Structure formats: C-alpha cells, structure tokens
Copies of this chain bind each other. A is one copy, B any other.
C-alpha cells in the first residue's frame, strides 16, 4: 500500500519533512498541520510514505512514533536502520550516521535493532538556561 496519487495533503506532509532536517514526532506533526488536514489523514499519509521508503519511523523515549526522511531506502528495503538521538532537555530527535556493532547472541537470530540514545544535544549542553521545545512530547 503505497502512495498512489499526488494530492495536496501528501505535498504538505512532504514539505514539512523537507523543511525540518531532524525527525518529527507524529504528535507534533498532527498539531502543526491541524488546520490543513485531519489527524487521520496525517497518520495514513505517514504510513504510506514509509511503505514507499520515503520516510522511516521509530519510537521516541515515551514510545511515541517519530518519522524522518530516508536516505537510501526503497519500498522493499529499508536501509535506515541507524541509531537515533533524543535530547532529554529539548526533546529534539536526530538520526545518527554511525554504526553500532551488535555482538552475536547465542541461539538467537537478530533481525531488527532499535537503538535510541538519550542525552544533551549541542545546543542544550552549551546553554545554561534550557529552553524546552514543543517537540519534546
């Protein structure tokens, strides 16, 4: 089930991801676009864009869903299996371009790895007066 038609709503969602280089939580996106489209539509479009390998999803620190643009994915293979970093202060999430080596685990076959690192991002580490971001949800 991929995107079949180039609709206005699909375009608005894609524009949001082109403007923001970091990841966006579904909650934030629904809120940000609530005057332009229904939340059901946001959920459905994100779902389709992921199927098409245009976005990838992962869970943030509260178990809420986040999406970010894929770089080398197709609809059949999602290569964006990289760690994500979430700032515990402002809530911002970034995709990390690093490779984490998973050791072999006896008697088990690992197929997916979900790695969320939490800490302070550069901005929050430097500023003494932390400014809580709306994306923290």
Contacts and interface: CB of A to CB of B under 8 A. Distances in A.
Contacts of A105: 85, 96, 98, 117
Given A63-B64, A105-B117, A122-B107, A112 B96 contact: no
A96 B113 CA distance: 13
Given A83-B102, A100-B101, A111-B118, 20 more contacts: A63-B64, A88-B112, A98-B105, A99-B103, A100-B102, A100-B103, A102-B117, A105-B117, A107-B122, A107-B125, A108-B120, A108-B122, A109-B120, A110-B118, A111-B119, A111-B120, A113-B115, A113-B117, A114-B117, A114-B118
Task: Please name the 4 residue pairs, one residue from A and one from B, whose CB atoms are nearest each other, closest first.
Answer: A63-B63, A112-B118, A107-B122, A110-B119
A48 interface: no
20 contacts: A59-B63, A85-B110, A88-B111, A96-B105, A98-B103, A99-B103, A100-B100, A100-B102, A101-B101, A102-B117, A105-B117, A108-B120, A108-B122, A109-B119, A110-B118, A111-B120, A112-B118, A113-B116, A115-B115, A115-B116
Interface of A: 59, 61-65, 83, 85, 88, 96, 98-103, 105, 107-122, 125
Contacts of A125: 107-109
